[in-house]
Structure 1
Amino acid sequence: MSGSLPVTSLLGFFVTSVFTRWWEMFRNIPWPDQTAILTTSFIRGQDRESKKIRETVIRNVNVVIAMTFKKLSPSVRKKYPTLRSLTSQGYLTAEETLIIENLRSRTSVDMTYVPIVWACKTVDKAQNDEYISSTHNKIDLMTEILDIQSKCMELSHWTMRAVPLAYCQVVAIVVYFFYLSSVVGGQSLEPERHLKGHTNVYFPIFTLLQLFFYIGWLKVGESFTDPFGDDDDDFEFLKLLERHRQMSKMLSEQKPGDLPKAISILDLHVAAES
């Protein structure tokens, strides 16, 4: 029976397919760290205006991530059910919320592009106002911002490419049918007694172990099919969103005193010896 049903090949292909899909989703989760680092490095100055520019750019990037996570994760959607809830948590200003709501009333197009446009325009204005030293730095920063938008869009698109339910059902049916047929087919007859229908029933320990391995393999594959839920093995978007917010705030509030003095390797060795 084990040779007639390609259970191992079928399960292997199933788990490989869903894990590859899961890994691509994980790789497309946006992280604002690099954008925050470049923003802090390229937008110069410690005056109020330069700090406001940095905070605006990083905040707009986090708004895009929050809006994307809100579409995908039930836990994030429960905590931030509306744009107003994002406003109350400091992601959006009242004016920005009103602009997005007005745009939504006119079109059904996804609004996550709007904060990205704001961030890019803020960077462009910063370069015109000489807060950014060169066009090359501006392009690098805009490229990072657009990469965040690209990852958010790609992550959203995965919800449109769900694993077919029939595929999961077929694999599960094959595994359970293989187990039942192995248990029944594994019973041995006693030919010396020549009694039709008489069987020698035994406990199929190796078949049972094989079932445990296959069922475990199947459950692993099923856990990868939809990582956007509230299960323990799903992506923790709510914690990730809070982590992004804290990290962005820390990176955008760097002061000149946070940068250590430059020192040569020779001076470092001398200081260590002394």
Structure 2
Amino acid sequence: MLDDDDSERYRRKFEQLALMFDEFTKLIPLTFLLGFYVSNVVSGWWRQFQSLPWPEDLLSVLCMVIPGRDERSQRRRHAIARYVNLTAALAWREISSKIRRRFPTIRHIVDSGLMTEKEFELLNKISSEVKSVRWMTPLHWVQQILADEIKENAPMASLTNQFVQELKQYRSALRKLFCHDWVCVPLVYTQVAALATYAYFGFCLLGRQFLDPEKKYKRYEVDFVVPIFTIVQFLFFVGWFKVDGEYCNPCATGGSRSHAAIRYG
């Protein structure tokens, strides 16, 4: 059992320890670290959103390049529209885990109607030689159809040029998404931000204890019982960090955001 003198002595030591840990929280530039981390992640997320390919502009120009109502013109328009969607499906399979679950294999794309058996065999032959260009192959088929249309019907050069430019932008948008998928936020950024956040609130656990108001410690004149401001800080900083982790790889599911996971081993 502790007598009153021992109890008072340990109480003073605890108060000194709490004051020391409270000073430690001032040595961690948490706002700066999280601000830098969040700025990098959110700006990367916004660039990915701006890189999303939209086929509407391409297909609207297509209707002017191939305006015919005959069966051949309709087949060409349908084939080009299908190839554009096929390109997106092939590209998104390599980027998004959700699309990968929808199309686990190329055979599933054939079953969905985006690709024929003949095209499947041709795609496999091409990808066996150069696998990295598989997703661009349907766009080459679009160019071949356009070349046939130019040879047979000679559409306006300005419309043809506009269509080619839209096709180029569509391909460039998908390429940018690949680049964002290849080059993620450096893992060390996530580790430093996580370590700083958890260390800060680890020090707060002792440093923000309310001390005896009679001792007149600075900023401890009133015993609030509940550390309201520390709770608000915790909700803000930890919530900021956790939400930001969701933006690291928006194309992945929660369990597959491997580059955003905290690993120290």
* TM interval, short-chain normalised: 0.7 to 0.9
| Identical amino acids, percent of aligned pairs | 27
Identify the match of residue 167 of structure 1 among 186, 189, 206: 189
Shift of residue 90, structure 1, vs aligned partner: 1.6
C-alpha distance in 2, partners of 1:104/1:220? 38
Unaligned runs of 5+ in 2: 1-22, 216-222, 258-265
Which amino acid in the other structure matches residue 165 of structure 1?
A: L
C-alpha distance in 1, partners of 2:56/2:81? 9
- 1:183 and 1:207 in contact (8 A); partners too: no
Aligned to 2:152: 129
C-alpha distance in 1, partners of 2:248/2:79? 36
Structural RMSD (CA): 2.3
Q: Deviations over 1:150-186 (max 9, x none)?
A: 1111111212111222321221111121112123223
C-alpha distance in 2, partners of 1:108/1:86? 17
Which amino acid in the other structure matches residue 91 of structure 2?
A: T
SS at match of 1:5: coil
- TM-score of the pair, normalised by structure 1: 0.76
Aligned to 1:186: 208
C-alpha distance in 1, partners of 2:243/2:211? 37
C-alpha distance in 1, partners of 2:211/2:51? 57
Task: Identify if the C-alpha distance between structure 1 residues 107 and 205 changes in structure 2 by more than 3 Å, giving closer, same or farther.
Answer: same
Q: Deviations over 1:86-130 (max 9, x none)?
A: 112121121111111011222333311211111012112112211
Task: Identify if the C-alpha distance between structure 1 residues 118 and 202 changes in structure 2 by more than 3 Å, giving closer, same or farther.
Answer: same
- 1:64 and 1:113 in contact (8 A); partners too: yes
Answer with 1 or 2: which has the greater Rg.
2
Task: Identify if the C-alpha distance between structure 1 residues 47 and 204 changes in structure 2 by more than 3 Å, giving closer, same or farther.
Answer: same
Within 5 Å, give how 1:61-100 maps onto structure 2: 61-100=84-123
C-alpha distance in 2, partners of 1:34/1:112? 20
- TM-score of the pair, normalised by structure 2: 0.78
Q: Deviations over 1:69-92 (max 9, x none)?
A: 111122221221222221121211
Aligned to 1:241: none
- 2:40 and 2:185 in contact (8 A); partners too: no
- 1:35 and 1:58 in contact (8 A); partners too: no
SS at match of 2:113: coil
C-alpha distance in 2, partners of 1:78/1:220? 24
- 1:100 and 1:111 in contact (8 A); partners too: yes
- 1:60 and 1:115 in contact (8 A); partners too: yes
The structure in which a higher percent of residues are helix is 2
Identify the match of residue 153 of structure 1 among 172, 175, 178: 175
Within 5 Å, give how 1:187-206 maps onto structure 2: 187=209, 190=212, 202-206=225-229
Equivalenced residue count is 226
